[in-house]
Amino acid sequence: MHTVVVGTSGTTPEDVIAVARANAKVELSAEALAALARAREIVDALAAKPEPVYGVSTGFGALASRHISPELRAQLQRNIVRSHAAGMGPRVEREVVRALMFLRLKTVASGHTGVRPSVAQTMADVLNAGITPVVHEYGSLGCSGDLAPLSHCALTLMGEGDAEGPDGVVKPAGELLAAAGIEPVELREKEGLALLNGTDGMLGMLCMALADLKKLYTSADITAALSLEALLGTDKVLAPELHAIRPHPGQGASAANMLAVLKDSGLTGHFQEEEAPRVQDAYSVRCAPQVNGAGRDTIAYALTVAERELASAVDNPVVLADGRVESNGNFHGAPVAYVLDFLAIAAADLGSIAERRTDRLLDKNRSHGLPPFLADDAGVDSGLMIAQYTQAALVSEMKRLAVPASADSIPSSAMQEDHVSMGWSAARKLRTAVDNLTRIIAVEMYAATRGIELRKGLTPAPASQAAITAARAAGVQGPGPDRFLAPDLAAADAFVREGKLVAAVETVTGRLA
């Protein structure tokens, strides 16, 4: 377990994953602690002045016109956390909450929020103690930041509300802090507001989705190649010179992956030898690099947006280097929300084309000699008929999840916050989409490997054989009479989800893109 050092200049997607999923320890750099102290001096100086300053000595949002006297300001900061911790619905995943807390700490450490060093240190201590606030599914509109989710995290820092301990048991946050030797924070001017005003939840989910999708797109290139092979298709359409004349980077990478998987295959290119020869393969086979590649390019753009946001200090108001404390709109989640929705659209299309190839493998009129539904004794056996139904149901849901959340906006805060991003909602549905896409690719892999094994007398590519051998060793069974299918599909899901499909193929091909 390594340590992630948080400085003033942001963080990386890899650090987010390390903290969220691998429980990496967090440490504040000396530079960050110095920047925190400098910014706090500015806030303290402004708090001592009679003139109202938003977030320091005023109310918030639609209540910003009220000047708050010094004796009420600590109560004001406590109250904003308590009142904004208004989430509802099921708990969100531990990794999401850890990413949320870490990214808020990243902005706090920038020195642009005015939070005291001691508060930032407590945030790091809570992460390092494995204490995870209970955060609920609903409560963020993706503007003024992920307010309710971040408020539940801030509530834990105060020793209030509920949190999950390192043992996975939910207890009152105060008890967990005491057990870890962590003193609850007493919030001062601006600090409550600074802990709530960020795109941290949607950004954390974006970083994790990008990591998952990158692996899934490589898996999808492999399963597309396996399906092409099982359908006796041609690999000539994957030639580099064809993709060079339409130079989308992702398309070229996907075609190269497929070509590497199919190297030395004895199954490709047989369509001209059939009784009813094909002039060319169906779109779902022939255009796989174009569809997979477009998704890859969408991932690349989304990563650019994520890296910009990871380098940002998102708060309102912010403390500037020249000593000014200025209101702004940088908390609006539109940049992140858009790419979350773009990724859901790309993922839905990838799932859709994978399902079309699976259906083709199962249809005796289009599979070019494979048995109906890849069954052992069609009629007595149903084969993979209902596996494709399950895949189709997943694809249908993917299409619903592709409807953009960011196209919606519901005004809030007495019309002060009259246009919001819905970025949190975009992130939540993308997580479901990524989960479903894994299952869809697993079903295609299951069908394609069975189809290849049913091509008696023909030798698959060495990389394909490596995938088949590894899948069978992992409990993904091959052709045969009907059996309880759900365990096979679960094994196929795990095989793809855990990266074993890619790992098996790369033992032959070397590293794939």
Residue 211 near residue 20, CB atoms below 8 Å: no
Q: Which two tokens stand for residue 379?
A: 């009629």
The neighbour count for residue 261, using CB atoms within 10 Å, is 30
Contacts (Cβ under 8 Å, ≥6 apart) of 243: 251, 252, 255, 289
Residue 432 near residue 401, CB atoms below 8 Å: yes
513 closest CA partner among 261, 290, 315, 308: 261
Pairing of strands 25-28, 3-6: parallel
471 closest CA partner among 453, 458, 454: 453
DSSP state string for 403-418 = S-STT----BTTTTB-
Residue 327 near residue 112, CB atoms below 8 Å: no
The neighbour count for residue 329, using CB atoms within 10 Å, is 10
Residue 467 near residue 218, CB atoms below 8 Å: no
The neighbour count for residue 88, using CB atoms within 10 Å, is 9
DSSP state string for 270-334 = -GGGSSS--SS--HHHHTHHHHHHHHHHHHHHHHHHHHHHHT----SSEE-TTS-EE---TT--H
Residue 114 near residue 190, CB atoms below 8 Å: yes
Catalytic site residue 54? yes
Active site residues: 54
